[in-house]
Structure 1
């Protein structure tokens, strides 16, 4: 009997719970991403918070992608270790992060780094330290596009520009906006909401560009809005989940035809009765931020979650005789990004064989700096 794409022939060598990744499917997703922007990789700045792996980042670089986005200094250093040319940290450095950011920029001169700023206090503090170090730092103004998490309002842009111009060692590269609040399953609604987000960012850009003697950039969006922003030739897009995809986005964004490229492996550890079994996939092994159901089972169509605890997941099934002790189940997480961060390594599957392991190095808070 022919194996399903996700099945592993030498599965007995993989302890569970485990995260499996499939390079051929990752390659397909990278190709589709490029196709959606007409092969213009200058319009892509993928977010690496989803994959957190040097090997995956290098796969994107081998495909001609040179710009990347990250959330942490450790992820930024991971990209530098991957020899990435251009790295934006979509986060505003505060406290000890400022010193770490300075050290990172100095330690990896072959990588161009930038970070976000959204208020005058942070601009002045970063500018003051950069001046004392005699370092030039690249920055983007972060604009709130409606998510209400970080970012300045557009009506503050004049004040922020004035403050940046007062800092001799800060170089403005452009504007950034994340519209993570856009996630409606109706593509027409998402199209409209993405348009509103774009108009906000464009207003900030249109104020700044005439006042700067060089071209500025606009970086916008995540995965749900990528369908719309990919059509705008004046912006750089920052999807991240595309690399592995997940059940949540497959359900809500069906027009983005990315393939599942990361799978959770688990085993039955207890048969409770004729209709219930327990597997070793607790919420320490899969993201717990979405409500139940947190996974889509690939080889257990009748399985639904009853409850979950730290190391256990109790399932209701049609007939527990189909799921003896040790039976291997495969599933797609609803939310892949925080799921990846729960694992220190992934198992690389090619032609149904586990051929290697990749370290999830970006899950660490600190690498070398």
Structure 2
């Protein structure tokens, strides 16, 4: 799709986030196809961290997807308010956050909340603050399958933690959470081999210690886990997609459903333009030259970026004027969305006039 040709862009302030609701729906439909169709939609446990918008969550609920993962309490609240039947907060909660979780549980009685833990003392604190013997809180054990960020290995430690959770009257052991965020191999076969290695270890452990539920994977390995297991799956970037994953994982049939509108605000020299796309508007955790693509300026090379400015070198500079629209596609859409208070909605090749608030950008 040529984002620049969308009808009504002239009235959209820049820098701003654009989302195409038609493309989002296509991505939802493809997620359902990957898990085997509508009869298997219950396998989906998508992460809401990418979009953080209730409207996108409701689109999934309308398609039969009702269980979600969240990274923050604000995301969990957003999902519950949008009709989620279950929300797993995939982040070990500590300190005052447990008080907020207890409030969430009271405020949304129709949503079943769950948490992760990889530590007995953390489980004790969760039980003390949020446990309920009459309605135990679901707790998943966070398994470290190679990312070495959080979690514990399968084996003696995870078995001991499971026994400890079982001893706490206010908690219910709900299963294993196996996130493989370290698997980004562009080569599909290499990715598949690494997934199968993890799968083999989990399956072997399950023979001796079966779990009520197993939630696995992220976006890059989504299709592999879907084909190799009957477990629950938690892609997230698949809803909006970006060129980072699109370039690295062409085996996933997702469509870019979000872009950024910017404008030329100055022409600082021959062959140069300055646009209003600073690092307060687009994810900037990677090197400057890898942060964006410009569909209509494929030769554009970044010279420098600051908070509200981006200077580009391009052979097309002479044909561009101050005020002209420049569309950018971010490499990493998840943190990019969090930089914007709302998204301008596009459908059928035109701006609809709707704004979707990014309500879960707060923590």
5+ long unaligned stretches in structure 1: 210-214
Q: Is the 8 A contact 1:303 1:316 kept in 2?
A: yes
Which string of whole-angstrom CA distances, capped at 9 and with x for unpartnered residues, describes residues 44-63 of structure 1? Answer: 10000001000000001111
SS at match of 1:141: strand
Count how many residue pairs are aligned between Structure 1 and Structure 2: 358
CA deviation map 1:228-249 (0-9, x unaligned): 1111332111000011110100
Q: Could you list the runs of 5+ residues in structure 2 that have no partner in the other structure?
A: none
Aligned to 1:36: 34
Deviations 1:173-203 (A, max 9, x none): 1100111110011111111111223234334
Counterpart CA distance in 1 for 2:276 and 2:25 is 30
Q: For the residues of structure 2 that align with 1:195 and 1:339, how far apart are their CA atoms?
A: 32
Tell which deviates more after alignment, 57-66 or 5-14: 5-14
Query: Mean alpha-carbon deviation: is it higher for 141-150 or for 194-203?
Result: 194-203
Residues 178 and 220, structure 1, Cα contact 8 Å, conserved in 2: yes
Q: CA deviation at 1:124?
A: 1.6
In the alignment, structure 1 residue 321 sits paired with structure 2 residue 298: no
Q: Distance in 2 between matches of 1:224 and 1:180?
A: 8
Tell me the residue number matched to 1:87: 87
1:307 aligns with 2:308: no
SS of equivalent residue, structure 2 residue 302: strand
Please show how residues 357-368 of structure 1 align to structure 2 within 5 Å.
Answer: 357-365=355-363
Q: Please identify, of 269-278 and 121-130, the stretch whose mean Cα deviation from structure 2 is larger.
A: 121-130
The aligned counterpart of 1:212 is: none
Secondary structure at 2:144's aligned position in 1? coil
**1:51 and 1:244 in contact (8 A); partners too:** yes
Matched residue, 1:218: 214
Matches within 5 A, 1:233-248: 233-248=229-244
Aligned to 1:51: 51
The corresponding residue for 2:333 is 336
2:22–2:348 Cα contact (<8 Å) kept: no
Please report how far the alpha carbon of residue 94 of structure 1 lies from its aligned counterpart in structure 2 after TM superposition. Answer: 0.3
Residue in 2 that maps onto 1:175: 176
State how far apart, in whole Å, the 1-side matches of 2:177 and 2:132 are.
Answer: 27
* Alignment check: 8 A CA contact 2:4 2:326 kept: no
Q: CA deviation at 1:6?
A: 5.2
Instruction: Return the offset for 1:293.
Output: 2.3
1:202 aligns with 2:203: yes
Determine the structure 2 residue equivalent to 1:353: 350
**Structure-2 separation of matches of 1:142 and 1:178:** 8
Conserved? CA contact 2:20–2:258, under 8 Å: yes
TM-score of the superposed pair, with normalisation by structure 2:
0.95
Q: Distance in 1 between matches of 2:108 and 2:178?
A: 26
* Aligned residue number for residue 21 of structure 1: 19
| RMSD of aligned Cα (Å) | 1.6
Equivalent-residue separation in structure 2 for 1:236 and 1:133 (angstroms) = 27
1:60-91 superposed Cα distances (whole Å, 9 cap, x missing partner): 11111111111011100001110111111101
Structure-1-length-normalised TM-score: 0.93
